[in-house]
Each structure stands twice: as structure tokens, then as C-alpha cells.
Amino acid sequence: MTNLLITGGAGFIGSHTALVLLEAGHRLVVLDSYANSSPEALRRVAELAGPGAAARLQLIEGDIRSEHDLERAFAACSALGGKPADAVIHFAGLKAVGESVAEPLRYWDVNLSGSRQLVGAMQAHGCRTLVFSSSATLYGYPETVPIPETATIAPINPYGHSKAAVEQLLADMAASEPGWRIARLRYFNPVGAHPSGRIGEDPCGIPNNLFPFVSQVAVGRREQLQIFGGDWPTPDGSGVRDYIHVMDLAEGHRAALDVLLAEGPQLLTLNLGSGQGHSVLEVAAAFEAASGRPVPLKIVERRPGDAAITVADPSQAAQRLGWRTSRGLADMCRDGWAWQSANPDGYEA
């Protein structure tokens, strides 16, 4: 049984991954400040994972930037598992692009200083296995699509710069001493929810991202979807993205962890995406079909900083992890709707 520390495990991707890891039999300590989440998500995760799972899950409310909180989390890992943490999965961070432009210091602080603090604590505790949440945002305006991991790293906003800096920090650690087992996972567009509808994405305020916005339109919380540009060089003129079901993404983390633990020291850098692109208009139509609700739309100006098409080349992940996505757009919409319709106000209800 593996002893894991999960930072940011109460969040959208962290909670779904925590479920997959509990189901795989691991013990988890989650360190989360609840800056963008609720402990209710993990209460539901324990419930979904079945009898006995709650005893293998411990929550520590704290901040990754605090040495004291990290000490508490590593101590909790040892107490829960009877041995030090075997690995860390690091989700904690801030992720809103527009906010990062307005408040760059906060992003550098939480994303970079927080990661630096965490890596220092790992070193102090002899834990050298880490799975890190990176992002396709690193590729900026991609030169070629589908995008391979070897594409130029050229972020275009402070959020992306902070992720690129953490990737570099991790490469420097791996080069500094033998023993580090690190996976830098570059997610494309994670969406959907667990099929039970018990856990899902619960953004604060008006969602910036397409999927949560569309689901809030379908449930009647927002009037209409604004489509950011109808004149992109794409088949229907709207932007194309590589949407990945959050359960596929969660399973990708499990696969990456298994490879690191089984194979030994290495620095893995992998795209996690489906390799399939879908336009905004296709997403809106698929959500209407899944929900049986109308999604009124209006085409407006392009959003600054958007690319026409971003789609992953996921072949490296298939080769290295034996992992590929198995859920399509209809599944993402069905499960996203199961969550949104049962929890129209998120975890607050």
C-alpha cells in the first residue's frame, strides 16, 4: 500500500484523482487551504470510494507555502501509513489566466514559491517521487498541431510563466542529484465529472472556462453563452480544443505514479490529452443533447490570448504509461450534466 501526499486534493482534478487512488488501495493525506474548494468534495470522495476508504484518507487544512503546514502534512503521512510518504502529487495552485495578469505576484508566490517550499520539504523527508500538474498553456500559440512535448515552451501570461518556472525547477532538481522520480504532466482541457454526479467542477463566481459556463447556461444560472470569435481558421469558425474527461485525467495520474514507482529515477514530461479537437459550437451542441436543455449562444469578439486550435499529440503518454483516454465528448457532457443538474450551486447547496 502506497503512502501519498496530495496537495490541492480537494480541488476539481485533485478530488477525482483522490477517488481513483483510494479505489486503487492507496493511503492519502490531502493538504489543501480550501482557497478554491470545499472539504465537502473529499467527504463525498470517501463515500464514493466505499467502506473503509475514509480510514485511508486524512485532510490537513494548510498552505503549501508554509513550512509548518508541510511538516504537519508529512507527519500525518507517516502516522497514517506507518512509514514516510512514498510520493507526492502536487495539484495545489492558482489557475485563472485573467487573474494572473492582474495579480502576478500572487501567482508567482503560490505557484512557484509554494512548489519550491514543497520540494524542499520533500527533500528534507527523503521523498523524491513527484507528479506535478503542468499545463498545455506552456505552449502559448502553438507552432504545430497536434502539439508534441518537444514544442517550444512559450507561455503568454503569468500563469503560464509560473508553470514553466516550476517545470524548470523540477528539471534542475532531477539534474542535481540521482534519485528523483518526477512526472510533469501537461494537461489539455480537463472537463466533465465523476459519472455519479457527486463530485465535479465548482468554480467560484462567473466561470472563465467554456465547460462550466455552458453547464451553468443549461441549468439556467446564466442566460447565454458568448462564443469568443466566429472567424477563426477552423472548420466552423469557433475555437478548437482538446477536451479531456477528468476521470481519464485522474487515471493518467495513477498510471504516471505507477510508472515512477515501478521504474525508478527519471524525469517524465507528458501531454495528457485525447488528441481529438472539438469546436465551441460542437461543445454547445453536445451539451444541449446531453442535458435536453437549450444553450442559447451569441458570437462576440475574440478573447485576447486565445489560439485558434490546441490539440495534444498524446502518443508519448500512450507509449510511456500505456494510458490513453477512453471517454468522448458525449461522456464529458453527460457526466458534467449529472454533476451540474444535481448540484446547481456546487458544493454550497
Q: Using alpha carbons, select from 157, 301, 134 the residue that is nearest to residue 230.
A: 301
Task: Write out the binding residues for ligand NAD, residues 3-42 only, by CB under 6 A.
Answer: 7-8, 10-14, 31-37
Per-position x/- string for 289-308, each x denoting binding to ligand UD1 as judged by CB under 6 A, each - no binding: --------------x-xx--
Question: Is there a contact between 200 and 209 (Cβ–Cβ < 8 Å)?
Answer: no
Closest separation in Å from C-beta 307 to ligand UD1: 8
Q: x/- contact string, 144-163, with ligand NAD (CB under 6 A)?
A: --------------------
CA distances from 283 to 185, 213, 333 (A): 24, 11, 8
Q: Which does 239 bind (CB under 5 to 8 A by kind): ligand UD1, ligand NAD, none?
A: ligand UD1
The reply to whether 72 sits near ligand NAD by the rule CB under 6 A is no
Q: Is 282 in the site for ligand NAD (CB under 6 A)?
A: no
Q: Whose Cβ is closer to ligand NAD: residue 28's or residue 92's? A: 92
The nearer residue to ligand UD1, 305 or 328, going by C-beta atoms, is 305
Separation between Cα atoms, residue 14 and residue 35, nearest integer Å: 14
Binding partner of 306, given ligand UD1, ligand NAD, none, CB within 5-8 angstroms per partner class = ligand UD1
Active-site option among 107, 159, 187, 243: 159
Cell numbers at 6, concatenated: 496530495
- Which of 3-28 are b and which e, b meaning 16 or more Cβ less than 10 Å from the residue's Cβ? bbbbbbbbbbbbbbbbbbbbeeebbb
Pairing of strands 243-245, 266-272: unpaired
Q: What angle do CA 273, 279, 284 make, to 5 degrees?
A: 110
Coil, strand, or helix at residue 173?
helix
DSSP state of 236: T
The one among 38, 78, 196, 208 contacting ligand UD1 by CB under 6 A: 208
Interface pick for ligand UD1 out of 38, 148, 196, 228 (rule CB under 6 A): 228
C-alpha cell at 4: 501519498
What residues line the site for ligand NAD (CB under 6 A)? 7-8, 10-14, 31-37, 63-65, 91-93, 95, 110, 114, 133, 135, 187, 189-190
The residues assigned a catalytic role are: 159
